[in-house]
Amino acid sequence: MNILHIDSGIFIDQSVSRKLSADIVAHLSAKQSPTQLVYRDLVTQPVPHLDASTLLDGDNALTQQLITEVQAADVLVIGAPMYNFTIPTQLKAWLDRILKAGVTFKYTEQGPVGLLNNKTVYIASGRGGIYSQGEAAAMDHQESYLKQALAFVGITDVHIIRAEGVNLGEEPRATALAAAATAVASL
C-alpha cells in the first residue's frame, strides 16, 4: 500500500486536520505497513500558485512530481481544514497542479473522464463551526469542492473524517475530537 499524506493546515501546532490526518495514517499503517509513505506539507513547503507560464509548460518539473506522487499512491490522506467556507489556498494550489488535462483527466465526446482510478482518499476535515447540517450546510465549499475535484480525476472512493464545531467551546471541541477518533478507529 502506497500512501500519499498531504497536510494544508496553516496552524501547524494547533491544527485539528493535521492531527486527524496523522491519526489516519498511523491507523492505516498499523493495519498494513505501507510500502511507500510520501508526506507533503503544503504550508512548510508550499506549491507555488498556478500562473499562465506554468499552465502552458507541460514539462514543469514540480507539476510532474506532484502528479507522479498521486499516480503512485493507492491511498491519499488529505488534511483539509475549512477556511472561509472552503479549502486553504495551499491545497488549492496543489489541486491546480494535479488536475491536468490529458494526464489525470481527458475530454471525450461524452464529457470529461478521470484517469486516476482505483484510489482511496481519506479527508481529515477540521471545521470551527457546524457545516454538515442546518442552514450553514449551504456554505460548505470545502468538503463538497474536494469531493468534486477528486471525482473529476476519477477518484470517487472518498471518506471524510470530520471534526467540526471545534471553535464553539471546550465541550463541543472535545465531543468533535472524540467522534473523529472513533471514526478513525473504525477505518
Q: Check whether 16 is labelled as a binding-site residue.
A: yes
Q: Check whether 21 is labelled as a binding-site residue.
A: no
Q: Check whether 1 is labelled as a binding-site residue.
A: no
Q: Which residues contact 148 (CB under 8 A, 6 or more apart)?
A: none
Q: Check whether 15 is labelled as a binding-site residue.
A: yes
Rounded Cα gap, residues 73 and 77, in angstroms: 10
Question: Which of helix, strand or coil describes residue 75?
Answer: strand
Q: Check whether 125 is labelled as a binding-site residue.
A: no
Q: Check whether 17 is labelled as a binding-site residue.
A: yes
Q: Check whether 83 is labelled as a binding-site residue.
A: yes
DSSP 10-50: SSTTT-HHHHHHHHHHHHHHHHS--SEEEEEETTTSPPPPP
Annotated binding site: 15-17, 82-85
Annotated binding site for FMN: 15-17, 82-85
